[in-house]
A and B are shown apart, each in its own frame.
Chain A
């Protein structure tokens, strides 16, 4: 059978292939970056604890993550008897896809963005909040009460902290009047929003820590208290998908923070992509530093902090920003 391809279809096919190429490039970047981040986190944690960390595979253990990935790939695929097969298999994918999709709207440098959405910020928050479904699917699908409890803790936490997160970003949107990431970066030509909106930045950063289930908000997996929370039953490649999602999430929230508060790709002399990545990796380092310094919150403290402190503070901040905007007119 022969197909006749019309010119419009050719154009569509070329565009589709181009999008696929962009996605593949991003996927490659994300996996490499995650490998680097895992190694880096192990190194940072080791040096904070006066150890050396991985030292054997490659220079200062830099190839350790590759060795670990190969080990995880070769592991047996274990599925417990009482699992809900569909959600058990889909959960890691949903988690990772939700962590990966926001990259489409993040500007890495001027004009270096997959799709410059008009509503980029809205898209990012809409898509990244899907990750909680993956977490809950994992907990439900495992057919294990501890997994389910871990998943409920995690979803309660993620949903609670989403509110101050979005509220803190709202004040930036009020200042720029746009949800487009590129426009928000360009609005920070003179002063970064981290300096003009320090409270919003703090609220964003704290909620982002909780969103990514990082210490001190990591009660959902709390390695020293619980077994593993929602991913207790996972091993091998499916577990590593969750791991990949966690570190991708870290990159995403740091990239959003860098774009919204630290002036994105803007910086003197060096090319924009360098400044953007430097800011992102600095923020990720800050997250690691915090993880290896502070003890974990209790569940009730965690919820109190979100609802009784961060949410009112975020509302006050929005009120102050609105007043400022009205008085400026």
Chain B
């Protein structure tokens, strides 16, 4: 009997402790962001979409081979000096799984993953992009 009464008091006390916890949170600042007006800065090594530094690319196709989903196509032409000249870098965002495996084998660090995270579009064909156009000015 005494044990039971003790239990009632200790349990009631724990209820008050619970209320104290939520009271603390009630007055602590919110952790969420008001999205379109407040934005989040992704960490440095965040894997957004695949991006290209067109001037550095030597069209070696290492990234195409590394890609598990065949999401990359490199188009090139042979110059007079038998060197490959990049003419198009097609990126299929719809099949990309953001694994970053294409970034690792690149011998010139031409391909990387940027910080973009708002990648939704209205039509599926907009997901296929030519990175020599889209990232024309990326150095």
Binding site for B on A (CB under 8 A): 44, 46-52, 55, 289-290, 292-294
CB of B25 within 8 Å of the partner chain: yes
Structural contact, A47 and B25, CB atoms closer than 8 A: yes
Q: Which residues of B contact A55 (CB under 8 A)?
A: 34
Nearest B residue (CB) for A46: B30
Structural contact, A50 and B25, CB atoms closer than 8 A: yes
Structural contact, A49 and B25, CB atoms closer than 8 A: yes
Q: Which residues of A contact B21 (CB under 8 A)?
A: 293
Could you list 5 further interchain pairs (A-B, Cβ under 8 angstroms) beyond the known A48-B22, A52-B30?
A: A47-B30, A48-B26, A52-B34, A293-B18, A293-B21
Structural contact, A292 and B22, CB atoms closer than 8 A: yes
The total of chain B residues at the interface (CB under 8 A) is: 15
CB of B108 within 8 Å of the partner chain: no
CB of B28 within 8 Å of the partner chain: yes
Nearest A residue (CB) for B32: A51
CB distance from B103 to the nearest CB of A (A): 35
Q: Which residues of B contact A48 (CB under 8 A)?
A: 22, 25-26
CB of B31 within 8 Å of the partner chain: yes
Q: When each residue 25-44 of chain B gets 1 if its CB lies under 8 Å from chain A and 0 otherwise, what string results?
A: 11111111010000000000
- The 10 A-B pairs of least Cβ separation, nearest first, read A293-B22, A52-B30, A50-B31, A48-B22, A47-B26, A51-B32, A293-B18, A48-B26, A48-B25, A50-B30
Binding site for A on B (CB under 8 A): 15, 18-19, 21-23, 25-32, 34
Q: Which residues of A contact B29 (CB under 8 A)?
A: 50
By DSSP majority rule, is chain A's interface helix, strand, loop, or mixed? Answer: loop
Docked Cα-Cα span, A292 to B28, in Å, equals 15
Q: Which residues of B contact A47 (CB under 8 A)?
A: 25-27, 30
Interface centre among B18, B25, B26, B34 (most CB of A within 10 A): B26
Docked Cα-Cα span, A44 to B26, in Å, equals 7
CB distance from A288 to the nearest CB of B (A): 10
Structural contact, B32 and A293, CB atoms closer than 8 A: no
Q: Which residues of A contact B23 (CB under 8 A)?
A: 289
Docked Cα-Cα span, A293 to B19, in Å, equals 6
Structural contact, B32 and A290, CB atoms closer than 8 A: no
CB distance from A15 to the nearest CB of B (A): 48
Structural contact, A52 and B32, CB atoms closer than 8 A: yes
Nearest B residue (CB) for A291: B22
Can you give 19 contacting A-B residue pairs, CB < 8 Å? A44-B26, A46-B30, A47-B26, A47-B27, A48-B22, A48-B25, A48-B26, A49-B25, A50-B25, A50-B29, A50-B30, A50-B31, A50-B32, A52-B30, A55-B34, A289-B19, A289-B23, A293-B19, A293-B22
Docked Cα-Cα span, A49 to B98, in Å, equals 32
Structural contact, B25 and A51, CB atoms closer than 8 A: no
CB distance from A64 to the nearest CB of B (A): 14
Docked Cα-Cα span, A52 to B33, in Å, equals 9
Q: Which residues of A contact B26 (CB under 8 A)?
A: 44, 47-48, 289
CB distance from B17 to the nearest CB of A (A): 10
